[in-house]
A = this chain, B = another copy of it.
Amino acid sequence: MKIAILPGDGIGPEIVEQAVHVLNALDEQFEMEIAPVGGAGYEAAGHPLPEATLKLAQDADAVLFGSVGDWKYDTLERALRPEQAILGLRKNLKLFANLRPAILYPELAGASTLKPEVVSGLDILIIRELTGDIYFGQPRGVRECPDGPFKGEREGFDTMRYAETEIRRIAHVAFQTAQKRGKRLTSVDKANVLETFQFWKDIVSDVHREYPDVALDHMYVDNAAMQLVRAPKKFDVIVTGNMFGDILSDAAAMLTGSIGMLPSASLDANNKGLYEPSHGSAPDIAGKGIANPLATILSAAMMLRYSLNKAEQADRIEAAVKAVLAQGLRTPDIYEAGTAKVGTAEMGQAVVAAL
């Protein structure tokens, strides 16, 4: 089985290196090939998603991705900026289902800005549609305003759209995932304002008829943002569109206070996937050896479970991560008094040792 390793920018290379050590420590052989992406892709080949990198990702059985982005690319034209790499990979690999767990590890309960009783035991899963919506909808651009009171002046515009198939397939993923968890699914929309999301709501309700064992409710996105702050544990699985999912999944991740711990999976229709930590490239701490590699290590575990059919090895990694937390090891982002502060490499070695 072949894994494409795309470390990217900022802390990406350091944290991916540790995840690779962990994969190498399993009793399995994986073929791993590394390629530049993001700013690193731009440096190496003049494009954030070089052709060879895309080809490697397409040919592999799974992609392990670090993170992309650095302030130094802020002045490049949009098409050349690092983030375009991740958008291009999602679209080209048809990774329409983004799974983002927000889990609070009991050992890290203190890291949350929320009161312990509100978040202790938090375990919710956000399923974000990842290849449609206003992220990719055409037409878009800056043009002369064609109508209305501002006719003739410049305007920026984008198109939100969801076709029936796009909604159906993410709904199926969501219902099937909910079936394996608490059997409760919240579909988040803005059907009271947007045609796209009235359509979304109708289709999700229709797909629900095939999953009578799952309790479905519909919630407006503004209310969902409130309920995530008010009573996040009331959720089990949330499914929503690309734009709303971008916002809500980050808010949900931050509820835990330890975004350095949260993995994510982006899957296509055949469970091929791209796996990456939920956090960004943190250029301010890059190269210092202090970044938390656990979100990436846990992303590798998700990869084993979803794309490589090695659930047992995934369990082992997850157990090893719990073990190092129980040992009191902490990178600076999750450090509290009374625990032992370690760096990126030490944390990775500790996970390998715990395997």
Give the CA-CA distance A159 to B158 in the complex, in Å.
Answer: 6
Give the CA-CA distance A155 to B162 in the complex, in Å.
Answer: 5
Chain A 167-204: CB-based contact to B (< 8 A → 1; otherwise 0)? 00000000000000000000000101111111110000
- Check if A165 is an interface residue, CB within 8 A of chain B: yes
Closest Cβ–Cβ distance, residue A143 to chain B (whole Å): 9
Count this chain's copies in the assembly: 2
Report the count of interface residues on A (CB-CB < 8 A). 65
Contact at B246–A221, with CB atoms within 8 Å?
A: yes
Contact at B159–A163, with CB atoms within 8 Å?
A: no
Give the CA-CA distance A63 to B62 in the complex, in Å.
Answer: 58
- Check if A346 is an interface residue, CB within 8 A of chain B: no
Interface centre among A223, A226, A231 (most CB of B within 10 A): A226
Contact at A159–B157, with CB atoms within 8 Å?
A: yes
The segment from A14-22, A131-139, A307-315, A316-324 found at the interface with B is: A131-139
Contact at A158–B155, with CB atoms within 8 Å?
A: no
Contact at B156–A230, with CB atoms within 8 Å?
A: no
Interface centre among A135, A142, A221, A250 (most CB of B within 10 A): A250
Contact at A156–B113, with CB atoms within 8 Å?
A: no
Within the complex, which residue of B87, B137, B155 is in contact with A199, where a contact is CB–CB below 8 Å? B155
Give the CA-CA distance A190 to B244 in the complex, in Å.
Answer: 12
Residues of B within 8 A of A148 (CB): 138, 163
Contact at B162–A195, with CB atoms within 8 Å?
A: no
Contact at A157–B160, with CB atoms within 8 Å?
A: yes
Give the CA-CA distance A228 to B230 in the complex, in Å.
Answer: 13
Contact at B200–A156, with CB atoms within 8 Å?
A: yes
- Jot down 25 A-B pairs with beta carbons below 8 A, ordered by A: A81-B192, A83-B193, A87-B193, A135-B193, A140-B195, A141-B195, A142-B195, A142-B198, A145-B161, A145-B163, A154-B199, A155-B163, A155-B164, A156-B200, A157-B160, A158-B159, A158-B194, A190-B246, A221-B246, A225-B225, A225-B248, A228-B251, A229-B251, A230-B254, A230-B257
